A and B are shown apart, each in its own frame.
Chain A
Amino acid sequence: MAAEPSGSTIFPRTDWEALGQSVEGDATRLDRLIRLYWRPLKVFLASAFPGLKAEEADLLLQDFAEDKLLKAGWLGRADPQRGQFRKFLKSSLRNFVRDRLSRAEVKNAPLSLEGLEEELAGPEAEAGGEEFDLEWARVVLAETLRRMEEDCRDPAANQPHRSQIWELFRLRLLEPLFHNAAQTPYERLVARFGLRSPLEASNMLLSAKRIFKAHLVRVIQEYAEQDAAASEEIRRLEEFLARLAKRS
């Protein structure tokens, strides 16, 4: 596998059992899965095991992918009763790395163990968990926006003003949120896009939000099991981000 995969398409599954069975039989899907989770997992490793060097973290992640993710039966152990899928990934990786580092210590392998003792002596619970979840939220939302933009720019999409809907969403919401740009007034949007009224611009923004929400649900449904789980996952992400935002 490449050192760090690029791209961010994830596997189209909606339940854990099917996830475990079919992903293992489908190298392309599994490759996509690893690509999506790579960055959050790397962030988690760096935070949970601060003594690891970047190249060591890459190596461990590759081993994790090959020894666990690619291993027949492993994904089938992802049990919805035991918690969220991303928690399962985190705890699996943490255990995997601890095991590897312990063995490396015994064999005096050239792995940095500075962070290991600190980590093993520290609280068991959520070292690196917040960093992972924040990175996870970034990946989910970026993937949602990528799909939304692709959808809106699709010339075959049978909806008037589809590409303008993306532009309006970008100008009204994305640019102000992520680039600190001033929010473009509706009256200027009306002139820019040749709309009939601010109300039409507002309705287009509502459409944009509906499209965003639909893609968000679909992205999450690919790792959460069903509709209810996707709603719960959106709620969890909202609460988590709101809590972090309050603290910062």
Chain B
Amino acid sequence: MADFDSAVALSQSGPEPLAALLAEGGRPAGLWQPEELGAIFRHQMAAPLLADLGAPAGAQGAPCQSFADLLHHPSPPLALLELVKDFAKTNAEHPEDGLPKEIAAVLYYLCIAAALLRLGARISKLPDADLGRGLRWAAEQPWLDEPTRQLLAGALAAVPPAGAPGAAGL
């Protein structure tokens, strides 16, 4: 294990690293690089679904073992999608306790997208314009894998433009 001699390192330091230490040390912003968000997202998609959500009785042996299983399932259980959407929303609102906000937000929109595309169900009360903006934002995240991006883009295409006839029926 390498040593870091704080007194020596700082005594020879210019103002830039000192300023950065003071700023970074006191604040969590700017924590994640895009490739790191990608790593966290991949980990989250592979994570056991029921363990993260709190496994309900009798849930063992469910067809969707991981988040990826659920979100890319051709016919995902609607109740599970809603459960994951709530889980993501809670995490997005409290990023200090769980997932980075970006990951939670993408997960949130993925649940809505999967329900919309696979089941024709709308599990969000967001107006079309807001939903469209959210799906577009999620699809543009550079750290997403291609199947996930396509799911979000497909759902975006399925959301009628704001004010279009029949938009409220989705």
- Across-interface contacts of B35 in A (CB, < 8 A): 185
Cβ of A91 within 8 Å of any chain B Cβ, yes or no, is no
Hey, which chain A residues are within 8 Å of B23, CB to CB?
238, 242
> Does the CB pair A206–B22 fall under 8 Å?
no
Please tell me if the beta carbons of A142 and B22 are within 8 angstroms of each other in the complex. Answer: no
Assess the A248–B7 pair: CB atoms within 8 A. Answer: no
Q: Is the CB of B13 within 8 A of A138?
A: yes
**Residue A241, interface by CB 8 Å:** yes
B7 touches A141 (CB 8 A): no
A213 lies within 8 A of chain B by Cβ: yes
- Collect the chain A residues with CB atoms within 8 Å of residue B22's CB: 137, 141, 216, 234, 237-238, 241
Asked if A209 and B28 sit within 8 Å, CB to CB, the answer is yes
Q: Are B10 and A142 in contact (CB under 8 A)?
A: yes
Task: Choose from B2, B6, B27, B40 the contact partner of A197 (Cβ within 8 Å).
Answer: B40
Q: Check A142–B7 contact: CB distance below 8 A.
A: yes
Interface presence of A173 (CB below 8 A): yes
Contacts of A234 on B, CB cut-off 8 Å? 22, 26
Q: Contact at A206–B96, with CB atoms within 8 Å?
A: yes
Given contacts A142-B11, A205-B31, contact A245 B39 (CB under 8 A): no
Among B22, B96, B98, the one with the most A-chain Cβ atoms within 10 Å of its Cβ is B22
Q: Which of B21, B27, B40 lies in contact with A202, CB distance below 8 A?
A: B40
Interface members, chain A 166-222 (any B CB < 8 Å): 167, 170, 173-175, 177-179, 185-187, 197-199, 202, 205-206, 209, 212-213, 216
Interface residue A161 (Cβ < 8 Å from any Cβ of B): no
Residues of B within 8 A of A174 (CB): 4, 6, 9, 21
Q: B23-49 interface mask toward A, CB cutoff 8 Å, 1 = contact, 0 = none?
A: 111111001100110011001100100
B1 at the interface (CB under 8 A from A): yes
Residue of A8, A39, A141, A205 touching B21 (CB-CB under 8 A): A141
User: Would A173 and B15 be within 8 Å (CB), given that A186-B36, A187-B39 are in contact?
Assistant: no
In the bound complex, CA of A146 to CA of B19 (Å) = 18
A24 lies within 8 A of chain B by Cβ: no
Q: Does B20 have its Cβ within 8 Å of any Cβ on chain A? A: yes
Establish whether residues B40 and A146, one from each chain, have CB atoms under 8 Å apart when the complex forms.
no
Q: Could you tell me the distance between the alpha carbons of A199 and B36 in the complex, rounded to whole angstroms?
A: 9
In the complex, the answer to whether B40 meets A245 with C-beta atoms within 8 Å is no
Partner among A8, A137, A202 whose Cβ is within 8 Å of the Cβ of B31: A202
**CA of A173 to CA of B4 in the docked complex: distance in angstroms?**
11
A123 CA / B10 CA spacing, docked (Å): 30
Please, which residues of chain A bring their CB within 8 A of the CB of B36? Answer: 185-186, 198, 202
B21→A173 contact, CB < 8 A = yes
Q: Give Cα distance in the complex from A233 to B17, angstroms.
A: 18
Q: How far does the Cβ of A204 sit from chain B's closest Cβ, in whole Å?
A: 12
B166 contacts chain A at the CB level, 8 A cutoff: no
Please tell me if the beta carbons of B7 and A8 are within 8 angstroms of each other in the complex. Answer: yes
Closest to A197 in B: B43
Is B112 positioned at the interface, with any CB of A under 8 Å from its CB?
no
8 Å CB contact of A178 from B15, B17, B24, B27: B17
Q: A199-B99, A242-B19 are in contact. Are A186 and B10 (CB under 8 A)?
A: no
Residues of A within 8 A of B1 (CB): 167
Q: Is the CB of B6 within 8 A of A146?
A: yes
29 inter-chain pairs at a CB distance below 8 angstroms, sorted by A residue, are A134-B15, A137-B22, A141-B21, A142-B10, A145-B6, A167-B1, A170-B2, A174-B9, A177-B21, A185-B35, A198-B39, A202-B31, A202-B100, A205-B31, A206-B28, A206-B31, A213-B25, A213-B26, A216-B22, A216-B25, A234-B26, A238-B19, A241-B19, A242-B23, A244-B15, A244-B19, A245-B14, A245-B16, A245-B19
**A141-B21, A212-B25, A212-B26 given; 11 more Cβ-contact pairs under 8 Å:** A142-B7, A146-B6, A167-B1, A197-B40, A198-B39, A199-B40, A202-B31, A202-B32, A205-B31, A209-B28, A245-B15
